[in-house]
Every structure is written in C-alpha cells, then in structure tokens.
Structure 1
Amino acid sequence: MANTEAALKEATTSIEGVLGAALVDYTSGMALGTIGGGKDLDLAVAAAGNTDVVRAKVRTMEQLGLQDGIEDILITLGTQYHLIRLLRGRGTDGLFLYLALDKSRANLAMARHQLKKIESQLEI
C-alpha cells in the first residue's frame, strides 16, 4: 500500500510524459498532495478548477438519473492531456487523482492503466 507522496511519485516515474500530478479532495477543492507542475502549471489552481469539472459531471449524472460511476474524465488540449480519476476505495470517497500529460510524449491508454494500478495501491 502506498501513501499519497509515494503514489504521486510513482505516477511521475511510471507514466511517460507526466507534467504534474495531484491528489485532490473535491469536496473542498484542496490538493492533498502535489508533484511536478511549475510556472506554467499551477497545481493548486488546477486542483480547484478540476474540482468544478468533477462536481458538474456528478451533478449532471444525478440529474439524468444515471446509476453509474465515473472512472475518469479526460480533457484534451492542443499539447496536453488532463486526466482526472475518481477514487473508489475505503477512505477515498470525494478524492480524485489528477495528471497533466505532455501529449507528444504520453501514451493515454498506458497512463490510464497505470493510474488505475496506482489507485489500487493507494492508502489514505
């Protein structure tokens, strides 16, 4: 089992093209941990903004009466992928993992696969 810091470090080392990663509480919009980022990628701002995305999607699913869970949300930019994976485990309700990936270096399918593996090992 990995803690937050170890999980985020694994994401940056095992997934090609990671620009930054965060574990985010979408009830508050606060990042519980971050790694990477920089002047062009403020992970605190990304955490808060992506919280709004998650909340909107959850609310829309409720309004539509969809009885299904969100695995992940993908936002594709010109040069980046932003991947949001909602966590489903003991003690992880209301949390998501967020990855920003360099589109030219990342393999999206492998990133999703690795993020799922990291989620399964994460212990909060």
Structure 2
Amino acid sequence: MPDMDVALKDAMQIDGALGAALVDYNSGMALGIAGGAKDLDLTIAAAGNSDVIRAKLRTMEMLGLNETIDDILVTLSDQYHLIRPLTGRSGRGLFLYLVLTKARANLALARHHLRQIEQGIDI
C-alpha cells in the first residue's frame, strides 16, 4: 500500500495534474502537497475545500441522507478541482484534492485514477 508521498506523486501523474494534496478536513491543514504554482496555493485551497466538505456533510445530515461522498467536482473555466474523501478506516477525516487543467485532463480517467489511489493509500 502506498504511503502519502507515493499517493501524491501518483496523483501528479494523472494527465493535466497541476497540484495534489492530502488534507485533514476537520482542521483544514494539508498533510502533504505535490505540485502547485505561484497562482495555485494548495495550502489555501486545502483550507477552503475543507469548508466545502464540511458544508456538504452537514447538508447531507440535515436531509437525512445515509450516503457517502464519492467525490466533489468544482469546474472552473480552465480547471477541474476534484475532492475525494478517504473512506478507509485509517483515512477518516481526510480527503485527496486534485487540480487539473481542463485542456489536458480527461475527467473520467482522472476520477478513476484518483479512486484507485484512494483505495490503495495507507495513512
């Protein structure tokens, strides 16, 4: 089973990947980061997307939905932002965050690859 650094490097191998992070959504802290750029601060994005996850989980609870989130997609004009909560026992409270450039990314393949990374990660 890959550790966090290997998982993030694997995520960066996805076509169009600009940055990846493993995030604790309770604190908003990025536990690990790969990639990024001057105009893509993954530390700030980690904190902001933690709010997204917590808001969605609260909404699902209020609606009485007994479901799990596979992933959350935010589509921007030039980028995809994928948020994938970890479902394994050791990953509770964590999510993988992946930023892709739309011009190079295949969204379906990226989601599939991120799911494989999530299933194999050992934290």
For this structure pair, what is the TM-score category when the shorter chain's length is used for normalisation? Answer: over 0.9
Measure, in 2, the Cα distance between the counterparts of 1:120 and 1:97. 11
Residue aligning to 2:20: 21
Q: Distance in 1 between matches of 2:11 and 2:48?
A: 21
1:90 CA displacement? 2.1
Give the aligned partner of residue 97 of structure 1.
Answer: 96
Residue in structure 1 matched with residue 2 of structure 2 by the alignment: 2
Alignment match, 1:54:
53
Secondary structure of the structure 2 residue equivalent to 1:69:
coil
Q: Secondary structure at 1:91's aligned position in 2?
A: helix
Aligned-partner SS, 2:90: coil
Deviations 1:73-114 (A, max 9, x none): 000000000000011002110000000000110000000000
Which residue of structure 2 aligns with residue 113 of structure 1?
Answer: 112
User: Percent of aligned pairs with the same residue?
Assistant: 65
Shift of 1:38: 1.5
TM-score w.r.t. length of structure 2: 0.99
Secondary structure of 2:46's counterpart equals helix
Q: What is the Cα-based RMSD across aligned positions, in Å?
A: 0.5
Query: Following TM superposition, where does structure 1 have runs of at least 4 consecutive aligned residues deviating by more than 6 angstroms?
Result: none
Structure 1 gaps, min length 5: none
Q: Counterpart of 1:52 in 2: which secondary structure?
A: helix
Which 5+ residue runs of structure 2 have no aligned equivalent? none
Structure 1 residue 10: Cα displacement: 0.7
TM-score under structure 1 length normalisation: 0.98
Q: What is the match of residue 73 of structure 2?
A: 74
Q: Does 1:30 align with 2:34?
A: no
**How far off its partner does 1:120 sit?**
1.1
